[in-house]
């Protein structure tokens, strides 16, 4: 039923755009970026029982949507393009101290700790349907030079269901990983920390969130440069989130953060407001060579890369290499595109994966 209402809205907008001499477009997009430093992405989800290395973060941003766009020309003048879309997003960002990863690995594998380990972890995670509205300006000049500019503004509105936000700080004592002292500040709809297994789950209503994207591109002769900031001013609200604030201690020792051995704190439902970091992307391309440099940064996660493209009878084929550890290729035609990269051909052991796909129909 919701899809039918969305399709009806698109058809009404399309009818209105015909009167304005507009080009209509229906498209579908999928974007996946996933990275896990200490273990493979599969092990990060299912359990740390594979190969292990030092690491400090795990990150995933998965987005898919279907949208309707129109470009508007009035009296032979172009006024840019509007796009409305409905989609879904899964966001996960886990940042931790390397010693915290050592501790978690030991608890998963039931191993002894070789030394005391710092506990320092922050998690941000939500899953939400979304509605987005974006505007892309026509190309314009600001001077007499042969330089063309274009900007893009997007707004996203979310209704997040499942979510986890929290911080854990403290120390784990060797050799037994069950001996620790830690403070917990945890906001959730379902309690998922390994401690306090008897903690109750609350009935939490869906929340509300929003974010904005800002983009600018500059086209100068054979060069193209662009920058984008995504999730600007992002905020997420819940009226009755589960909240647990506690200090847990199973052993007193040097570095302990609790006053007494045992547990003290409280759990309740309350209103919360959460944020996520801004994501920055950049591009510098030499158009005549189809050669481009790329940059991506989300808080502590970053990557840099180079891509070389070539026009063929089957469309544009591209090959890219990113640091850290990502290699892949892309294929683009007038109606669809696909891009895939990973750090290994054994995908169930991959630490870094990138996938994007899209298809469009214009009339």
Task: Write out the H or E segment, with its range, that includes residue 35.
Answer: strand 23-36
Contacts 24+ apart (CB under 8 A), 291-299: 294/320, 294/322, 296/33, 298/59, 298/61, 298/93, 299/93, 299/95
pLDDT beyond 60 at 47: yes
pLDDT beyond 80 at 358: yes
Distance (Å, whole) CA 272 – CA 166: 12
Q: Which single residue is written with the structure tokens 């974007």? A: 31
Q: Which domain range does residue 86 map to?
A: 2-362
pLDDT beyond 70 at 9: no
- Overall average pLDDT of the 98-110 stretch: 91
Per the model's pLDDT, the better-predicted residue between 347 and 98 turns out to be: 98
pLDDT band (50, 70, 90) for residue 8: very low
- SS3 (DSSP) at 195: coil
pLDDT at 191: 83
pLDDT at 55: 93
pLDDT band (50, 70, 90) for residue 200: low
- Overall average pLDDT of the 72-91 stretch: 91
Is pTM beyond 0.85? Reply is: yes
* Minimum mean pLDDT range among 5-19, 146-160, 256-270, 308-322: 5-19
- Overall average pLDDT of the 197-225 stretch: 89
Distance (Å, whole) CA 47 – CA 38: 12
pLDDT at 16: 44
- Overall average pLDDT of the 95-108 stretch: 93
pLDDT beyond 60 at 13: no
pLDDT band (50, 70, 90) for residue 363: confident
- Overall average pLDDT of the 264-274 stretch: 92
Average pLDDT of the residues of the chain: 90
Q: Which single residue is written with the structure tokens 């209509």? A: 24
The CB-side HSE value for 120 (13 A sphere, CA atoms) comes to 11
* Minimum mean pLDDT range among 2-16, 194-208, 321-335: 2-16
pLDDT at 1: 47
pLDDT at 67: 97
Distance (Å, whole) CA 118 – CA 207: 33
pLDDT at 197: 57
pLDDT beyond 80 at 278: yes
- Overall average pLDDT of the 244-268 stretch: 89
**pLDDT above 70: percentage of residues in the chain:** 92
Distance (Å, whole) CA 16 – CA 165: 43
pLDDT beyond 60 at 12: no
- Overall average pLDDT of the 205-218 stretch: 97
Q: 128-147: per-residue pLDDT in tens?
A: 999 999 999 999 988 767 89
E strands present in 159-222: 163-172, 180-188, 208-220
- Overall average pLDDT of the 288-316 stretch: 96
Count of domains for the chain: 1
Instruction: Decide if 121 contacts 162 (C-beta within 8 A).
Output: no
pLDDT band (50, 70, 90) for residue 193: confident
């Amino acid at each position: 039923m919701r899809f039918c209402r969305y399709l009806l809205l698109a058809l009404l907008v399309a009818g209105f755009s015909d009167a304005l001499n507009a080009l209509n477009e229906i498209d579908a997009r999928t974007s996946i970026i996933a990275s896990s430093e200490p273990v493979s992405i599969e092990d990060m989800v299912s359990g740390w029982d594979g190969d292990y290395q030092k690491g400090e973060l795990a990150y995933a941003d998965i987005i898919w949507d279907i949208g309707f766009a129109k470009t508007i020309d009035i009296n032979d003048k172009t006024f840019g393009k509007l796009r409305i879309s409905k989609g879904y997003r899964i966001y996960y960002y886990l940042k931790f101290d390397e010693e915290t990863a050592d501790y978690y690995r030991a608890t998963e594998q039931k191993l002894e700790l070789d030394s005391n380990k710092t506990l320092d972890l922050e998690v941000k995670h939500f899953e939400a349907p979304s509605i987005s509205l974006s505007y892309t300006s026509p190309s314009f000049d600001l001077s007499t030079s042969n330089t063309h500019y274009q900007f893009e503004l997007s707004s996203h509105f979310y209704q997040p269901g499942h979510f986890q936000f929290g911080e854990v700080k403290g120390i784990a004592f060797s050799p037994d990983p069950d001996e620790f002292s830690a403070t917990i500040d945890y906001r959730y709809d379902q309690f998922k920390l390994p401690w306090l297994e008897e903690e109750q789950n609350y009935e939490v209503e869906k929340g509300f969130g929003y974010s904005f994207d800002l983009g600018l591109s500059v086209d100068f002769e054979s060069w193209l440069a662009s920058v984008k900031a995504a999730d600007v001013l992002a905020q997420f609200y819940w009226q009755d989130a589960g909240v647990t604030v506690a200090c847990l201690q199973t052993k007193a020792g040097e570095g302990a953060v609790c006053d007494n051995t045992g547990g003290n704190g409280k759990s309740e439902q309350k209103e919360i407001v959460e944020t996520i970091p801004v994501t920055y992307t950049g591009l510098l391309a030499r158009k005549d060579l189809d050669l481009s440099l790329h940059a991506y940064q989300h808080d502590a996660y970053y990557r840099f890369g180079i891509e070389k493209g070539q026009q063929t009878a089957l469309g544009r084929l591209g090959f890219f290499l990113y640091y850290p550890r990502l290699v892949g290729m892309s294929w683009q035609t007038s109606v669809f595109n696909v891009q895939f990269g990973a750090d290994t051909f054994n995908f169930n052991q991959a630490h870094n994966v990138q996938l994007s796909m899209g298809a469009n129909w214009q009339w």
